[in-house]
Every structure is written in structure tokens, then in C-alpha cells.
Amino acid sequence: MSKLEITDLQVSVETEDGPKQILKGVTLTINDGETHAIMGPNGSGKSTLAYSIAGHPKYTITGGTVTLDGQDVLAMSVDERARAGLFLAMQYPVEVPGVSVSNFLRTAKTAIDGEAPKLRTWVKDVNAALEQLNLDPTFGTRNVNEGFSGGEKKRHEIAQLELLNPQVAILDETDSGLDIDALKVVSEGVNRFRSQEGKGVLLITHYTRILRYITPDFVHVFVDGRIAEQGGPELADQLEAEGYDKYTKAASV
């Protein structure tokens, strides 16, 4: 059971010309087991929403609340948010030189669970997760994200999603830059995750094609730092046919 509730969230970033407001009051509730897609043009603030929820220090919360099952997420440190059950699959995963994937995964799992995983089952779980995402068994010995192809980075993010198994997953443009095969593999991973009881997904994307593989319960159109329209999966088809023009024009008036 998990419920992520975002209420009137306002976020700004420091720029050379002073603080600039990016999110202008976002309200969104992801109930138990729901998958929400957020779609919008570049620069609309989609990624800011993802990183703000995860607690990136670059973003300043100027108003609103975020709660996970009633707990105040904004009062938590970055790692506390992850331990509370939030997961962010990043658009640009960061290289960590000298730290192997297997060491990283074990350290993260230990942190999330509060105890070291049982060695035998853990090795089996890691190998299975890597294999399902078409990652080579030697992948574990490589340094985190170092020299990974774009596709490998995204598949590695989803392997982490499956192994850490959070309550709510935020996927920030996980589909961008993937070829069709990789997109299928990644989507299957996300679907395995959300087939479990009560898992929430916030899927942020620029394109509709991933929604052919991951069917959302709700679609939100995100323009200029707020939600401009919401609906069911059919809204994605409409966006596919018509694009974002009518929303961006409305926002600029």
C-alpha cells in the first residue's frame, strides 16, 4: 500500500539572474497501484518535478507539500526518501569511478533493507535481474555507469528498480535514446515491477511510444510548470495525433 500525494508544489532554481520559478503549483495524487504518465514539451518542468521529489539540492521548494503515505517527504534527506520507498530512475545516470556495479547494488540494498542481503539468494537475484534486462553477467564487475552505452545506463536503472523494489518509482525519460529492442526490455522490467501489489509509477516522457508497452491509468499534460490537462490513456493518443501545440499556445497567452 502506498500513496504519493503532491499538493500545490512550487519549485525554483538559482540562475545567473536570480531565482527562477519552474514548478508553479503541481497537484497530483498517485494512489495505491496506479501508473501515471506525465507528458510535456521540453523545458516544461517534467524533470524538475522528478528531481524535486527525490530531493536534488539544486531545486528549492518554495511552496506546497509532498507526502508518501502521509509522511512528509520534503522534510527527509535524499537517502531517507529512498529508504521511505521512493525511487528515481534518472535520465542521465552518473558515473561513479572505481565502484563496481555489484558493490553499489549490494550497498544500496543493505541501506534500503537496513540489513545485508543473504549472500546466496542475493547473487541469484542480481544475476536474474541483469539477465532479464539483457545485461551481460560480467556487468557486475564494471564501474557504475562508466563507459556504459546509453541503453546500458537505462537498463541498469531498471535493474536497480527491480532489485531495490521501492513503493513508488519515478521514471524520468527512461525511454529517451533507446532503440526499439531496448525499449521493450525496459518496459517489460517496469511492467514486472508494477504487476506487484500496490506499486505506484510516475512515468515522465516526451514521447508516446513507451505508452504502447506500459499502459498508464492516467495521463497528465505538463506545460509551463503545471498540469494543463489530464485524462485516461486516450489522451496520449490525442497528443500523438495533435502534439503539444494547443497547450503551449494557451500557456503563452
Partner 1 sequence: MTVTDSVRSALEVDKVESHLHPQGSFDVASHVVPTGREEIWRFTPLKRLKGLHADAEFQPSATACTWNTPAGVRVEGVDGDEARALRGVSGLVPNTRFAARVLAEVPSTLLVDVPDDADVTEPVVVELAGSDAGVTEAGHVVLRFGRHSRATVVLNHTGHASMAQVVEVVVGDGAQASVISLQDWADDAVHLTHHQTLVGRDATYKHVAVSFGGDVVRMDTNVTYDGPGGSAELLGLYFADAGQHIEHRLFADHDAPRTKSNVMYKGALQGQGAHTVWVGNVLIRKVAEGIETYEENRNLVLSDGCQADSVPNLEIETGEIEGAGHASATARFDDEQLFYLRARGIDDKEARRLVVHGFFNDLIRRIGVPSIEGQLMSTVEAELAKNVLRDV
In the complex, the residues that contact partner 1 under the rule CB under 8 A are 54-57, 77-79, 81-83, 87-88, 90, 93-99, 103-104, 107-108, 111-112, 143, 160, 164
**Shortest CB 171 distance to partner 1, Å:** 13
Minimum CB separation from partner 1 for residue 251, in Å? 30
* Helix/strand/coil for 133: coil
Calpha distance 103→58 (Å, rounded): 27
Q: Would strands 18-30 and 86-89 be described as parallel, antiparallel, or unpaired?
A: unpaired
Complex with partner 1: residue 8 or 79, whichever CB lies closer: 79
CB closer to partner 1 out of 116 and 250: 116
Nearer Cβ to partner 1 (54/211): 54
- The label of the residue with cell 513503493 reads 167
The DSSP H or E segment spanning 21 is: strand 18-30
d(CA 220, CA 232): 9
CB 84 within 8 A of CB 75: no
Choice between 90 and 185, CB closer to partner 1: 90
Q: How far is the CB of 157 from partner 1 (least distance, A)?
A: 10
CB of 168 vs partner 1, minimal distance in Å: 13
- Distance in Å from the first CA to the final CA of the chain: 41
